[in-house]
């Protein structure tokens, strides 16, 4: 794991908006940072080769819509990717896409195949348009196909990241979606298709990342699913605000961390101790649970006719808590 700061691409911190944000939006914003985006591909796909350089990444239009016009089919397929970037080092160009999944998608291989196919179709359509405009064909075969013999597409790599808590029991390749002949579970001649990689965060045993923010996001989500955040590793004692907030949104624990995040922002700090924040949140949650239990017992005793002075003394409630118990008891008496 590296020790990069987790600043945004322009060298300054993003403002964290603690208002209701969907996991999709939070993750899209998180991976718009080139260092984080590159680290996911280098760590999960290219591994030791580290083939993606952050400084070479460029944003691409996430809309993959392409007009498909033919005698058999005339419609517009519309697909929008979560995050897609273009990279090139002068000799090799690539299109890289991340698809974030909060829920199991039982047609994920098919959906990913359509994403990639539309990306290729869009690139091919641009080439065909250019060739026709320039009338750059060498023979009738190039004219009929619309593409020249030397025309090449740019390879597209798609990583699907599953952030849900439930175990992924959906298909991991197109082959898994097929119904083959009886006794022939897998057809040798079938043209299979699978995403470049399906990453299930809740299944991860190691985190092959160098970027600190990416490492901590994956680890925080995994640990919060494994033990509800009650035993967080020491590596999460100093977590960037955006990383902590994204992890909370993904695991739907923003209420637990909201107080700590607000305090950190007000103090002008750039990181939060997630271990302490969650520990304190669980202690407050337990305290709240005990208080609610005491109020509930007091209400029950009052309904049974016990003397108010004795109930208040035995329950050891604050004045506000006692007033709440009395109110609930009176409301229950009226309704009965």
Is pLDDT at 3 greater than 60 in this prediction?
A: no
The pLDDT tens digits of the residues spanning 144-186 come to 999 999 999 988 889 999 999 999 999 998 988 888 877 666 6
Q: What's the pLDDT band for 281 if we cut at 50, 70, 90?
A: confident
Q: What is the Cα–Cα distance from 109 to 224, expressed in whole angstroms?
A: 28
Whole-number pLDDT of residue 101? 92
Task: Please indicate, yes or no, whether residues 46 and 152 belong to a single structural domain of this protein.
Answer: yes
Contact 254, 40 (CB under 8 A): no
Please check whether residue 265 lies inside any domain of the structure: yes
What value does the mean pLDDT take over residues 284-308? 75
Task: Please indicate, yes or no, whether residues 306 and 274 belong to a single structural domain of this protein.
Answer: no
Structural domains in the chain (count) = 2
What value does the mean pLDDT take over residues 312-332? 81
The pLDDT tens digits of the residues spanning 49-88 come to 778 888 888 887 665 544 444 433 333 344 556 777 877 6
Task: Please indicate, yes or no, whether residues 205 and 309 belong to a single structural domain of this protein.
Answer: no
The pLDDT tens digits of the residues spanning 124-144 come to 999 999 999 998 899 999 999
Task: Please indicate, yes or no, whether residues 232 and 296 belong to a single structural domain of this protein.
Answer: no
Task: Please indicate, yes or no, whether residues 196 and 318 belong to a single structural domain of this protein.
Answer: no
Rounded to two decimals, what is the model's pTM?
Answer: 0.75
Structure tokens at 50: 């580290």
What value does the mean pLDDT take over residues 91-112? 86
Q: What angle do CA 14, 51, 55 make, to 5 degrees?
A: 35
Please check whether residue 271 lies inside any domain of the structure: yes
Structure tokens at 275: 């271990």
Task: Please indicate, yes or no, whether residues 278 and 297 belong to a single structural domain of this protein.
Answer: no
Task: Please indicate, yes or no, whether residues 54 and 201 belong to a single structural domain of this protein.
Answer: yes
Task: Please indicate, yes or no, whether residues 192 and 243 belong to a single structural domain of this protein.
Answer: yes
The pLDDT tens digits of the residues spanning 202-221 come to 999 899 999 999 999 999 99
What value does the mean pLDDT take over residues 9-37? 74
Please check whether residue 14 lies inside any domain of the structure: no
> How many beta carbons lie within 10 A of that of residue 65, not counting itself?
14
Is pLDDT at 8 greater than 60 in this prediction?
A: no
Task: Please indicate, yes or no, whether residues 28 and 115 belong to a single structural domain of this protein.
Answer: yes
Task: Please indicate, yes or no, whether residues 65 and 82 belong to a single structural domain of this protein.
Answer: yes
The pLDDT tens digits of the residues spanning 258-272 come to 888 888 888 888 899
Among residues 285, 300, 322, the one where a domain terminates is 285
Please check whether residue 11 lies inside any domain of the structure: no
Is pLDDT at 285 greater than 80 in this prediction?
A: no
Q: What is the Cα–Cα distance from 41 to 158, expressed in whole angstroms?
A: 9
What value does the mean pLDDT take over residues 275-298? 74
Task: Please indicate, yes or no, whether residues 158 and 96 belong to a single structural domain of this protein.
Answer: yes
Please check whether residue 3 lies inside any domain of the structure: no
Contact 301, 311 (CB under 8 A): yes
Please check whether residue 240 lies inside any domain of the structure: yes
Q: What is the mean pLDDT of the chain?
A: 81
Residue 311 belongs to what domain range?
292-335
Please check whether residue 275 lies inside any domain of the structure: yes
Whole-number pLDDT of residue 67? 46
Task: Please indicate, yes or no, whether residues 319 and 245 belong to a single structural domain of this protein.
Answer: no
Please check whether residue 278 lies inside any domain of the structure: yes
């Amino acid at each position: 794991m590296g020790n990069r700061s987790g600043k945004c691409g322009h060298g300054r911190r993003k403002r964290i908006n603690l208002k209701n944000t969907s996991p999709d939006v939070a993750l899209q914003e998180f991976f718009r940072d080139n260092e984080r985006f590159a680290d996911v591909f280098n760590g999960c796909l290219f591994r030791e080769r580290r083939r993606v350089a952050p400084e070479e990444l460029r944003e691409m239009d996430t809309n993959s819509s392409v007009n498909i016009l033919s005698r058999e089919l005339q419609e517009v397929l519309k697909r929008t990717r979560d995050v897609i970037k273009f990279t090139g080092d002068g000799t090799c160009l690539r299109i890289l896409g991340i698809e974030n999944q909060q829920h199991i998608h039982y047609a994920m291989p098919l959906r990913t195949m359509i994403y990639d196919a539309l990306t290729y179709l869009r690139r091919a359509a641009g080439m065909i348009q250019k060739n026709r405009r320039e009338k750059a064909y060498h023979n009738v075969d190039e004219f009929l196909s619309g593409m020249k013999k030397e025309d090449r597409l740019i390879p597209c790599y798609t990583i699907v990241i599953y952030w849900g808590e439930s175990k992924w029991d959906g298909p991991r390749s197109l082959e898994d979606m097929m119904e083959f002949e009886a006794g022939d579970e897998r057809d040798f001649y079938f043209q299979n298709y699978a995403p470049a990689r399906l990453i299930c965060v809740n299944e991860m045993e190691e985190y092959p990342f160098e970027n600190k923010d990416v490492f901590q996001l994956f680890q925080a989500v995994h640990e919060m699913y494994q033990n509800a955040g009650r035993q967080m590793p020491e590596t999460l004692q100093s977590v960037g605000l955006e990383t902590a907030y994204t992890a909370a949104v993904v695991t739907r624990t923003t209420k637990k961390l909201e107080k700590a995040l607000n305090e950190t922002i007000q103090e002008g700090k750039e990181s939060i101790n997630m271990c302490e924040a969650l520990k304190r949140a669980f202690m407050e949650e337990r305290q709240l649970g005990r208080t609610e239990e005491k109020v509930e017992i007091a209400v029950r005793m009052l309904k049974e006719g016990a003397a108010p002075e004795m109930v208040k003394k035995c329950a050891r409630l604050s004045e506000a808590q006692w007033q709440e118990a009395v109110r609930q008891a009176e409301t229950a008496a009226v309704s009965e």
